[in-house]
């Protein structure tokens, strides 16, 4: 499969966003897990929401690129 430079750039952006969100979630969960009192409920909503939004963006971009590359029938994330 030959990808255009635009498609390669889009894949790179998606990967970077997913990695950034994963690091943020790891930090949020890890910081609270390692605290003296283990209380995951203490995770602040705003940073958590920002990480989730990055994942939503990456999922939407992945779907769009998948449709472009493979057609509508393979665009569902469940097929990847």
pLDDT tens digits in sequence order for the chain, 80 residues long: 788 899 889 999 999 999 988 888 888 777 665 555 555 555 677 777 888 888 999 989 988 988 888 875 454 455 44
What is the model's pLDDT at position 1?
72
In terms of Cα–Cα distance, which of 35, 28, 71 is closest to 50?
28
What is the model's pLDDT at position 69?
84
**Entry pTM:** 0.61
């Amino acid at each position: 499969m030959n990808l255009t430079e635009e498609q390669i750039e889009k894949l790179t952006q998606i990967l970077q966003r997913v990695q950034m969100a994963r690091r943020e979630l790891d930090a949020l969960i890890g910081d609270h897990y390692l605290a003296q009192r283990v209380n995951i409920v203490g995770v602040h909503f705003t940073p958590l929401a920002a990480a989730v939004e990055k994942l939503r963006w990456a999922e939407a971009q992945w779907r769009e690129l998948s449709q472009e590359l493979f057609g509508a029938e393979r665009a569902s994330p469940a097929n990847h």
